[in-house]
């Protein structure tokens, strides 16, 4: 298996090198992967493997143009933009609360989003970390992941997301919930954010594979506040998503509600849950040019999100969200997909 994977990697690197040389004149250079045995496997274009026992953990160190494979079992190649210098960066794929960078990643997200009521409690994230696609929950295979990017000893970026596969409806796309994305100020505006937005696609494919499902279309979903000229930072963020293929499900047709993220005692003291009305901003991978979506697909997306939330939130706190589905249009309804930056 290792030899076959290395052959695959070499073939893909060669293919991408030829493509890049013809289009940009730039070819991938070297990268290093830290092994579980404390050694570095370094090569130009593909990792050298000394033994079939060498396992690759979920962490990479990258040179200027990173090309890497997260695992030999199911190799996934990434070619990073040639205008972004990856020297000194380390990427950690965190799928366990015991990972040494889990606390750092969670603290950064909480500091940014907690006071805004946009970040789940730590116990909720810890529960999601335990999800395994091989063990479906409520007829859904789910895989949560946090990605932490470091520059030497400094945090550069962190994001988290959950891939959700509806096992009862094999014709429906994989929904990937884009929870949070934080780029530290000194690393903004240089291309890192665009790469971080694409990372969840890999998670979706891994979730499908581990759930032993055939390939499906992938839909990335973000819950976002509506565009408002009075909030320039929000508007700028929506424009950035728009540039990389995201569209907004027409909010005049779909009135989406995000669950109340507050702790149960706070919700009870307030007299019950107060869901937050937000817009669904989606990227339907390889279908970015489509300008409409059917009602059934939108409902499946929202049902997947509520199933995910329902594993961590109390049933009574999810009741308003599930009830809101009754206001959605019939399955055959054509719903417009509009630019995320559109106001109104």
The per-residue pLDDT for range 105-160, each reduced to its tens digit, is: 999 999 999 888 888 889 989 999 999 999 999 999 999 999 999 998 899 999 99
Question: Residues 40-84: pLDDT tens digits?
Answer: 222 223 232 222 222 233 454 444 444 443 332 333 334 444 456
Quick one: which of 167, 178, 131 has its CA closest to 305?
178
Predicted pLDDT at 277: 96
Predicted pLDDT at 89: 85
Integer CA distances (angstroms), 304 to 118, 172, 175, 322, in order = 19, 11, 7, 11
Predicted pLDDT at 34: 29
Q: Nearest 5°: phi and psi at 146?
A: -115, 135
At how many degrees (to 10) do helices 295-310 and 315-324 cross?
180
Q: What angle do CA 249, 179, 145 make, to 5 degrees?
A: 130
Predicted pLDDT at 233: 87
Which two structure tokens, joined as six digits, stand for 43? 């090569």
Could you give the CA distance from residue 25 to residue 121 in angstroms, rounded to a whole number? Answer: 47
Quick one: which of 121, 105, 26 has its CA closest to 66?
26
Q: Would you call 61 helix, strand, or coil by DSSP?
A: strand
Burial 303-330 (b: 16+ CB within 10 A, else e): bbbbbbbbebbeeebbeebeebeeebee
Predicted pLDDT at 175: 98
Predicted pLDDT at 192: 87
Cα 14 from chain centroid?
28
Predicted pLDDT at 54: 24
Q: What is the DSSP letter of 74?
A: S
Domain annotation for the chain: domains and CATH numbers:
1-87 (no CATH), 91-338 (3.40.630.30)
Integer CA distances (angstroms), 94 to 69, 77, 128, in order = 16, 18, 12
Predicted pLDDT at 84: 64
Contact between 127 and 121 (Cβ < 8 Å): no
Which two structure tokens, joined as six digits, stand for 33? 């992967």
Mean pLDDT over the full length of the chain:
79
Could you give the CA distance from residue 35 to residue 125 in angstroms, rounded to a whole number? Answer: 27
* Helix residue spans in the chain (DSSP H): 2-23, 102-113, 122-129, 192-210, 232-243, 264-269, 295-310, 315-324
Contact between 177 and 308 (Cβ < 8 Å): yes
Q: What is the DSSP letter of 137?
A: B
Predicted pLDDT at 268: 97
Q: Nearest 5°: phi and psi at 3?
A: -60, -40
Integer CA distances (angstroms), 186 to 21, 154, 181, 239, in order = 31, 11, 15, 20
Predicted pLDDT at 75: 34
Averages of pLDDT over runs of 10 residues in the chain (344 residues) are: 36 41 33 26 28 34 42 37 69 88 94 87 91 96 95 93 95 95 91 84 94 96 91 89 94 96 94 96 95 97 97 96 98 97 86
Q: Nearest 5°: phi and psi at 110?
A: -65, -40
């Amino acid at each position: 298996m290792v030899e076959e994977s290395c052959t695959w990697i070499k073939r893909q690197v060669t293919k991408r090198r030829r493509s890049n040389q013809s289009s940009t004149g730039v070819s991938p250079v070297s990268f290093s992967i830290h092994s579980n045995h404390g050694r570095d496997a370094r090569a130009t274009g593909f990792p050298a493997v000394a033994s079939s026992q060498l396992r690759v953990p979920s962490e990479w160190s990258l040179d200027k143009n990173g090309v890497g494979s997260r695992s030999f079992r199911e190799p996934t190649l990434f070619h990073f933009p040639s205008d972004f210098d990856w020297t000194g960066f380390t990427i950690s794929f965190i799928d366990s609360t015991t990972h040494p960078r889990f606390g750092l990643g969670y603290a950064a997200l909480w500091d940014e989003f907690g006071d805004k009521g946009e970040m789940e409690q730590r116990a909720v994230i810890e529960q999601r970390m335990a999800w395994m696609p091989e063990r479906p929950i409520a007829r859904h295979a789910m895989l949560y992941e946090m990605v932490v990017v470091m520059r030497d000893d400094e945090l550069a970026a962190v994001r988290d997301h959950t891939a959700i596969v509806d096992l009862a409806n094999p014709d429906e796309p994989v929904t990937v919930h884009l929870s949070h994305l934080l780029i530290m100020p000194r690393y903004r505006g240089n291309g890192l954010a665009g790469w971080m937005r694409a990372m969840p696609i890999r998670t979706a494919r891994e979730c499908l594979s581990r759930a032993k499902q055939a390939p499906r279309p992938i839909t990335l979903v973000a819950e976002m506040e509506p565009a408002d000229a009075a909030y320039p930072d929000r508007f700028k963020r929506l424009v950035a998503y728009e540039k990389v293929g995201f569209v907004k499900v027409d909010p005049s047709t779909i009135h989406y509600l995000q669950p109340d993220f507050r702790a149960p005692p706070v919700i009870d003291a307030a007299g019950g849950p107060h869901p937050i009305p937000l817009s669904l901003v989606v990227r339907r991978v390889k279908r970015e040019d489509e300008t409409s979506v059917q009602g059934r697909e939108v409902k499946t997306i929202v049902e997947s999100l509520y199933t995910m939330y329902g594993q961590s939130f109390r049933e009574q706190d999810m009741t308003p969200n599930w009830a809101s589905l009754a206001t959605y249009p019939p399955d055959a309804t054509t719903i417009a997909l509009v630019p995320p930056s559109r106001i109104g």
